[in-house]
Chains A and B, each alone.
Chain A
Amino acid sequence: MLRSFFLFLFLTLTSVVSQAQEIEVCKTCEVKTIQAAVDMAEDGDILRIKSETYKEHDISIIDKSLTIIGEGFPVIDAEMQGTAISIRAENFSIEGLKIINVGRSHTNDFTGILVSNSKNFEVKNNRLDQVFFGILLERSSEGTVSGNIITSNAKSQSTSGNGVHIWKSEEITVKNNEVIGLRDGIYLEFVNNSEIINNLCKDNLRYGLHFMFSDHDLYKGNIFENNGAGVAVMYSKFIDMQENQFRKNWGSASYGLLLKEINDSELRNNIFEDNTIAISADNTNRIDYIENDFRNNGYAIRIRGAVYDNNFKRNNFLYNSFDVAYTGRLNNNKFSNNYWSGYSGYDLNRDGIGDVPFRPVTLFSYLVNKTPEAIVLLRSTFIDLLDFSEKVSPIFTPADLIDAQPQMKKIQW
């Protein structure tokens, strides 16, 4: 009684004296569990969690602006029971925690760190391992998720969650995170005006980065490697895609970048390397593809139906099995000033632009689009002959699908 009175006195005094009070959590400290520390903390307090293992789950922080700092990566083991930490607050930050063994469920989105209805927050430098969902933000704004390392061992899409999952939020920055072995690396649904920068998404089952109904976003400098598909951008508009690398998304149903129903966006300075299909565009309008590199892909660009006003300019197409596969009419899409490694024309006036237009669609890729089984004849002599004769005098491939100014040298950007 006396002790708790003193503690009370101490707490009130310190909170009067200094705004930010520090609470230490460890096995030998006065406060032994994180939940207890959270319960006694006031707005603006700092929780220092010492390096130990805490078997806790469903730690909930409601309406308290706390700074939670893990020292030497204290482990929060949720023992496969449910969500580790859930927060609904403004002005808080969580850093330096290691969260493991988040429960799996078919009905609940159990998460390492769940942030809902929050504003102005920071989740940084945490390590999450064996999680269902890693970091989940919903109905939040002005937050930063940075420097986190999220790993798991997703086996099937139905029993795994996403690394960073953001739903119905605004102005979120996701930066310098590593997401390895989940379902989707980073998932955005109804997320506007946000930035995804310098993340690494690797070995995820489905997509490295997945946009749904999200507008006015930027993703830049990310690396997407060996995912089911690198990035899927669906039902979104005004997306800025810059300086990303899409690598080794290789498999019979893999893409580097899947564009579906997206409008008014730009791709600039991205590198696509060793993907089965580097870009698959379906129902995309007014997209500019400028100064990208396509190297050693199966298909560099595969254009499906209802694609209008796409502009391909100053890209390098290097050693892809098919540069462009095309379905339907040209629909005002333009290829100009690209460099094609398959171009065999000449440049008499030496202005760096080939004098003969280049036709990126070969007869074989046209045929494969019509009868997919014809792909068995890949690299057979007959097909080479066919492509050659079609190149000389095109009959089947769309006559106006040409690059009228093919570059003679690889474009430096």
Chain B
Amino acid sequence: MLKILKYSFYDLSRSLWSYVYFFFYLLLGVVLLFLNNDLSNAVITLMNVIIILVPLIGTIFGVMYFYNSREFTELLLAQPVRRSSIFFGQYLGVAISLSASLILGLGLPFIIYGLFQSGAIWDFASLLVSGVFLTFIFTALAFNIALSHENKIKGFGLAILLWLFLAVVYDGLFLLSLVYFQDYPLDKFSLVASMLNPIDLSRILILLKLDISALLGYTGAVFKQFFGTGLGAFTSIAVLSLWVILPVWRIKYISAKKDF
């Protein structure tokens, strides 16, 4: 598995797209810091970018990579290598190289700017951690889609749809249900509903770290009480991990059965 991971990773690190992705984040970080001059404001803006872009790029890139390396995969399958290690290797290769672009691209300008002297380092760390989690989650989901669908167009369509659902439509349904059931106590519901969607969960985890959480008022206090405790932190990490583990497990399950 490690060998395949290495091949995928080297392959990707020679790919133009990784560099584009890396330079995009580098540029974003530099521009934000030098236009804003305020670290915690920059973190908020970055959060907006990360919760939209990271999942999108994770899904698209994952699907694209899987379809593109299909011939290589078939070649590998002919060798005496375990199926699960082929796919895990490829998955980890993509996810790790995307995460590396994200961490380096954003980390470098922030370190140059003087992150370590600033109190915003923990906000920034939580930003990166949720960014990495989102990359792993959405790459895994993308691999799932690509494995289940031979048809590229269909696969791409589904991947975009999935992203659209989790990033946008889910919140719409969430909001609708909040407005519709406004006569009932909704704290627990909103807590659970926002934990179920990884994008919402990471958004809230970052928001609660920032000053802006005071804006959330009473509902925010409920959230803060929950996420502030060990149980809350554990649950949210557990939920994010579950979002990684389940799709990865499904990759193994499907790839074991699939007829190539």
* Residues on A facing B (Cβ under 8 Å): 250-254, 276, 298-299, 321, 367, 370-383, 385-386
Contacts and interface: CB of A to CB of B under 8 A. Distances in A.
A379 B47 contact: yes
Contacts of B47: 379
A299 B171 CA distance: 22
Nearest to A254: B214
B41 to A, nearest CB: 9
A321 B223 CA distance: 19
Interface stretch (B86-94, B142-150, B173-181): B173-181
Residue from A250, A373, A377 having most chain B Cβ neighbours under 10 A: A373
B220 A381 contact: no
Given A371-B178, A381-B51, A376 B167 contact: no
A276 to B, nearest CB: 5
Interface in B148-205: 167-172, 174-175, 178-179, 182, 186-187, 189-190, 194, 199-200, 203-204
Contact of B171 (A370, A372, A375, A380): A380
B215 A376 contact: no
Q: Classify the secondary structure of B's interface with A.
A: helix
B203 A370 contact: no
A381 B175 CA distance: 12
Contacts of A383: 171, 175
A26 to B, nearest CB: 50
Interface string B101-114: 00000000000000
Residue from B47, B48, B178, B189 having most chain A Cβ neighbours under 10 A: B178
Contact of A298 (B51, B52, B212): B212
B179 A378 contact: no
B242 interface: no
Contacts of B44: 379
Given A254-B214, A376-B219, A381-B167, A367 B179 contact: yes
B218 interface: yes
B216 A321 contact: no
B214 A377 contact: no
A-B complex: 5 closest residue pairs judged by Cβ atoms: A382-B171, A298-B215, A373-B186, A371-B182, A380-B171
Given A373-B189, A380-B171, 20 more contacts: A251-B214, A252-B214, A252-B221, A298-B212, A299-B215, A371-B182, A372-B219, A373-B178, A373-B182, A375-B217, A376-B204, A376-B219, A377-B171, A377-B175, A378-B216, A379-B48, A380-B51, A380-B203, A381-B52, A383-B175
A381 B168 contact: yes
B207 interface: yes
B211 interface: yes
A378 B186 CA distance: 16
Nearest to A319: B41
Given A379-B203, A381-B168, A382-B171, A374 B178 contact: yes
Nearest to A253: B217
